[in-house]
Amino acid sequence: MGSVIVVASSKGGCSKTTTVTALAVNLAAHGYKVAVCDSDPNQAFVRWYKTGEAPTLSVSTELDHNEIVGHLLRLEKKHDVVLCDTGGWSNQTQVFAMGAADLVLIPVMPDRNSVVEAVRTAQQVRSVSEIARRDIPYLVLMTRWNPKGISERAAVEDLDASRLPRLEQHIGDLVAFQKSSFSGVMPSKGYIGAVVTRVIDELKSLGAIGPVEEAAA
């Protein structure tokens, strides 16, 4: 059985698709068998995958909230990691997808609205946990991030005041990430690959992703 990671936020435009793309490409480069389910009505990941320079991934679409849980669980049986890209604005399918998640990643950009929506999304995860009667962990992943920025420091203070758990690693405010939707290229080597690998390694250290040796076995 693989891991289901749902990338979710009630805020649109906070790098959910960029996060899914970066993780999918780099996990595949590390030898993982990766599935991506695009449950965002905008279908940004599917469009990128059709035209981009992408490794072999299992890519599917599921927009129906009645079907998303079963769809993700079926993918989990055949893949090492399942990533689910979701819509914003309290999309119902996003909320149901959380019910199948082993981890919910909540991308947060360095602005107040991102933090406010992260708090709202975390509450959704806790509510789904109560319905499912199991703990569904969630973590904030800081995106478009400059660790030395003033806005970033303010955002961290707000995140900590809200007691939202966050990854130590982040996705930087780098041109390559912003251009990937246009260029069709998401690097898995060089500096970008190293940045995403650090995020993956932290997820592995937390048990959200199994070691590649086990995944390949």
Q: What angle, 0 to 180 degrees and rounded to 10, lies between the N-to-C axes of helices 44-51 and 175-183?
A: 70
For the whole model, what pTM was predicted?
0.94
Name which residue leads in pLDDT, 10 or 93: 93
Of 78, 79, 73, 76, give the one whose Cα is nearest residue 28: 79
Q: Where residue 207 sits, what CATH number does that domain have? A: 3.40.50.300
Domain span at 43? 3-216
E-state strands within 73-185: 81-85, 103-108, 138-145, 166-172
Tell me the pLDDT tens digit for each residue of 18-42: 999 999 999 999 999 999 999 999 9
- The mean pLDDT value for 110-138 works out to 95
Number of domains in the chain: 1
**Which structure tokens are listed for 71?**
């769809």
Nearest 5°: the CA angle 76, 78, 81 is 50
In angstroms, the CA 164 to CA 26 distance is: 26
Tell me the pLDDT tens digit for each residue of 135-153: 999 999 999 999 999 999 9
Residue 216: band (very low, low, confident or very high) from pLDDT cuts 50, 70, 90: very low
pLDDT at 105 over 90: yes
- The mean pLDDT value for 110-117 works out to 93
Q: Work out the mean pLDDT of the chain and round it to a whole number.
A: 92
- The residues pairing with 82 across neighbouring beta strands, listed in sequence order, are 4, 35
In angstroms, the CA 195 to CA 216 distance is: 23
Question: Taking the CB of residue 188, how many other CB atoms lie within 10 A of it?
Answer: 19
